[in-house]
Copies of this chain bind each other. A is one copy, B any other.
């Protein structure tokens, strides 16, 4: 595979440092350790070594969806990949799924849902704050899934337009207020999944889901532990994200 004009490239230095750039004649990229000529990499094979003017060595490899997702998640710190992955599983989202999401936030969860619902599924995502929607739209475009997303600038409490959807995914401050609407929107047996940082939100949401007849209501959280692996020095990392949020799931019955 050859790097062509206009390609997005990942310039990889090490586990902590890498950048997404575009290969383009006449453009330069400035790092803390010298400059890269982005025109010179056009025509080279992927995997090629690139050096800055100050000798910093990096690899030029293809950018994929995950590169974008990691960057969006890191920037907003709202929802982590570990949570995105399990929410998608618990919502049973897969090619063809019709999904309602609220709120859109930065669009990172939206993008993953849309990526996995394509090519014939779709995500309807509600967001009240225009600024967030604007940022999310840009992220979804960059990640190549905007065509599989319908963005709605509206308070979901005013109603969900869609019917017979496969899943409803909530990442909002007051999920319990939406449980009834979610039930109306879901097909029989469809999945409701809600992500919340506090235990009090969980209590209210679970209570409401039980009251509204949801089945198989479960609450869990995932703790991610990362490791420093090196012969004779292997150990978990000292600093850990101790909490992101609780995940409640259930099923319309």
Chain A residues engaging chain B, CB cutoff 8 angstroms? 1, 10, 12, 15, 18, 45-47, 59, 61-66, 81-82, 84-86, 88-90, 92, 94-95, 112, 115-116, 118-119, 187-189, 191, 197-200, 202-203, 206-207, 215-227, 229, 231-244, 246, 248, 251-253
Contacts and interface: CB of A to CB of B under 8 A. Distances in A.
Each complex incorporates copies of this chain amounting to: 4
* Binding site secondary structure of chain A: mixed
Nearest to A237: B242
A182 B136 CA distance: 35
A216 B15 contact: yes
A225 B221 contact: yes
Contacts of A238: 241-244
B243 A242 contact: no
A81 B89 contact: yes
Given A61-B253, A86-B86, A200-B233, 17 more contacts: A15-B217, A45-B188, A61-B252, A62-B188, A66-B89, A66-B92, A85-B85, A119-B119, A220-B226, A221-B224, A222-B222, A222-B224, A223-B223, A226-B242, A237-B243, A238-B244, A240-B242
